């Protein structure tokens, strides 16, 4: 699972508006700002009936602020933070956003045989991924076993609008939250009559419609290099969310081994396979968000089989010696070629 503090630097799907020249009465408007410890950017094609950018930004930022008050783990007054402070055996009323995200996380948890898990925060703490380079270390077996007692999505359940826990688990929804709020913003834009847009929030992105001149929105997907950002391919995007999970910018090396911040919660260990990054395209951005993590945990062989069997549009980038090899699922190739 990815953590919200590190996710923005890992995302390789860029909200690059690669605009051509055009002559049109229509214009592309843009608003941007800060949210969820990172940034957001929204571009859209307006009409005479579209609200002015200032009014649209007010509505969007109210939506983002409300969502942050529900799911943030960085403030102690959010609904989720208050739940995390409760002891084992507790239940708490939760807003619809949290319940929907937990439901999606449970589906991903089951489809990954427990590999996708929203309670792994203590593992990241134990291995030092929350404390800077100096704190990153391999924990003792006894300490790892102790932490694993309070890790596991199976300790969560929802009952009549409440979230309950039967162990002292800490929930972090960052593996699906950004994609979810992208979808919420898209719904807000639709209510304002906006059908052509590109919405990017903390690296998760969705676009639909055409820019002036009938030009599609395009995104750049980076080649996963540790030291630079290089566009690997350019994709048109129409009605799909895009999410990338990768381990190549947040890891540490010790005794010649590379330890990723992507964890397998079943054994408490960082994943050690050669899958460097996975990009997923899906109409549901929250699902794209979660699936990119699920596939990264599964790895280059099991993840590939799952993506093909489930007809997921996914791009796998696998380490090969000092370089990388890319592999696209049939659904991804169809979307890339505009055959969807």
CA dist., res. 96 & res. 172, Å (int): 16
CA 50, CA 60: separation in Å to the nearest integer? 14
Task: Copy the structure tokens of residue 177.
Answer: 């939250």
Give me the pLDDT at residue 225, please. 54
DSSP secondary structure letter of residue 82: H
Predicted pLDDT of residue 269: 79
More confident residue, 48 or 177: 177
- CA 245 – CA 280 distance, rounded (Å): 9
pLDDT, position 122: 87
Closest to 121 in 3D by CA, of 250, 267, 239, 268: 268
Residues ≥6 apart with Cβ < 8 Å to 101: 71, 173, 176, 177, 180, 286
Q: From CA 297, how far away is CA 225, in angstroms rounded?
A: 19
Instruction: Decide: residue 156, CB within 10 A, 0-12 exposed, 13-18 middle, 19+ buried.
Output: buried
Beta-ladder partners of 253 = 258
| The pLDDT value given to residue 130 | 59
Task: Provide the pLDDT confidence category of residue 250 given band limits of 50, 70 and 90.
Answer: low
pLDDT band, very low/low/confident/very high, at 246 (cuts 50, 70, 90): confident
So what's the architecture of 7-336 in CATH?
Roll (3.10)
The strand pair at 251-254 and 257-260 is best described as antiparallel
Is-contact 39 155, C-beta < 8 A?
no
pLDDT digits (tens, 9 = 90+) for 171-192: 999 999 999 999 999 999 999 9
DSSP one-letter string for 83-139: HHTSPTT-EEE--HHHHHHHHHHHHHHHHTTT-S-TT-HHHHHHHTTTS-GGG--PP
- Beta strands 229-237 and 275-282, pairing class: unpaired
- Domains of the chain by residue range: 7-336
Q: What percent of the chain has pLDDT over 90?
A: 59
90 strand-pairing partners:
none
Residue-wise pLDDT tens digits, 65-103: 999 999 998 899 999 999 999 999 999 999 999 999 999
Model confidence, pTM: 0.86
- Regarding predicted confidence, which is higher, 44 or 323? 44
């Amino acid at each position: 699972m990815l953590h919200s503090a590190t996710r923005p630097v890992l995302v390789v799907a860029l909200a690059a508006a690669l605009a051509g020249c055009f002559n049109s009465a229509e214009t592309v408007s843009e608003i941007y700002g800060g949210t969820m410890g990172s940034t957001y950017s929204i571009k859209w094609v307006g009409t005479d009936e579209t609200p002015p950018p200032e009014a649209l930004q007010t509505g969007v930022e109210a939506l983002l602020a409300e969502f942050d008050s529900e799911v943030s783990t960085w403030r102690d007054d959010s609904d989720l933070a208050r739940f995390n402070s409760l002891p084992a055996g507790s239940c708490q009323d939760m807003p619809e956003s949290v319940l929907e995200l937990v439901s999606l996380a449970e589906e991903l948890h089951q489809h990954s045989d427990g590999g996708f898990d929203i309670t792994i925060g203590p593992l990241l703490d134990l291995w030092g991924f929350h404390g800077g380079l100096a704190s990153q270390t391999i924990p003792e077996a006894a300490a790892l076993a102790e932490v694993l007692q309070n890790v596991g999505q199976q300790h969560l359940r929802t009952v009549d609008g409440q979230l309950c826990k039967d162990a002292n688990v800490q929930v972090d929804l960052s593996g699906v939250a950004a994609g979810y709020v992208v979808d919420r913003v898209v719904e807000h834009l639709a209510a304002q009559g906006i059908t052509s847009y590109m919405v990017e929030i903390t690296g998760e992105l969705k676009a639909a419609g055409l820019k002036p001149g009938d030009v599609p929105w395009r995104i750049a997907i980076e080649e996963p290099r540790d030291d630079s950002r290089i566009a690997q391919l350019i994709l048109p995007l129409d009605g799909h969310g895009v999410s990338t999970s990768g381990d190549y910018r947040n890891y540490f090396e010790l005794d010649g081994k590379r330890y990723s911040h992507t964890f397998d919660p079943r054994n408490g260990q960082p994943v050690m396979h050669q899958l460097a990054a996975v990009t997923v395209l899906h109409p549901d951005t929250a699902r794209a968000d979660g699936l990119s993590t699920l596939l990264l945990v599964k790895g280059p062989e099991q993840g590939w089989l799952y993506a093909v069997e489930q007809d997921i549009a996914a791009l796998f980038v696998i380490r090969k010696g000092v370089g990388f090899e890319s592999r696209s699922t049939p659904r991804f190739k169809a979307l890339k070629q505009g055959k969807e």
